[in-house]
Amino acid sequence: MAALVAWPSRPEVTFAIGTRRDGDARLDGPEWGRVTSTINASRWTLLTEEHGNVVRVVDTAGEHCGRDGDAIMTSAVSTPIGVWVGDCAPIGLVGDRSIAVVHAGWRGLENGVVEAAVDAMVSTGDVLRGAMIGPHIRTCCYEFGSGDLDRLAHRFGAAVRGVTRESRPAFDVNAAIRIVLGRSRVVSIVDVDRCTGCRADAFFSHRVRRENERHLFGAWITESPA
């Protein structure tokens, strides 16, 4: 079953981290059915994920499901939100009242999807307290073209330059995420620290193995904050 992780300072907030053992992100499968039953919700909200910076705000379970966007925010109870991911990074954001999930590949990062999600939370008067970075492709497996890498280094800083295990130029997705979160003054970061490219036993990877399946990274609030 997907790993369920409660946020330390807000135990009513739970993250679900799927793996290839849960199948191809099928919400009608038995594993995700058990997850859904624990939160008394029948519908998730998932978006089309177009590597942009559109954020959808969800007030009821299933609202906006299937619409365009790469980030979802909610402060409602029993309203699960999720992103499909393989090599792209799933990010969970936790505020005092709201939560958000973000689908962040290199294009989404360049387009400001993380900043857009942070802004959506802050615009409601919420205070962002922490973030979880889920499994994604790491520099060891993420060879990158020099032109794109130069542009991303200009956007985020030299820290996003990495090398693969074969010593070829690579884009450090994790470093870019941390830079953006740092600029947003997020200091509490939980990193699952797993590479989808390396871990063929646990995750799908299109870049390394040409797999088209994806995992689900989800979050929800089980009760109203005190």
Neighbours of 37 (CB within 10 A): 10
pLDDT tens per residue, range 8-22: 999 999 999 999 988
- Kindly report, residue by residue over 21-39, the tens digit of the pLDDT: 887 866 666 666 666 776 6
State how far the Cα of 90 lies from the Cα of 84, in Å rounded to an integer.
8
Q: What pLDDT shows up at residue 105?
A: 97
Q: Which domains does the chain have, with CATH numbers?
A: 10-221 (3.60.140.10)
Report the alpha-carbon distance of residue 216 to residue 2 in Å, rounded.
9
Total count of residues recorded for the chain: 226
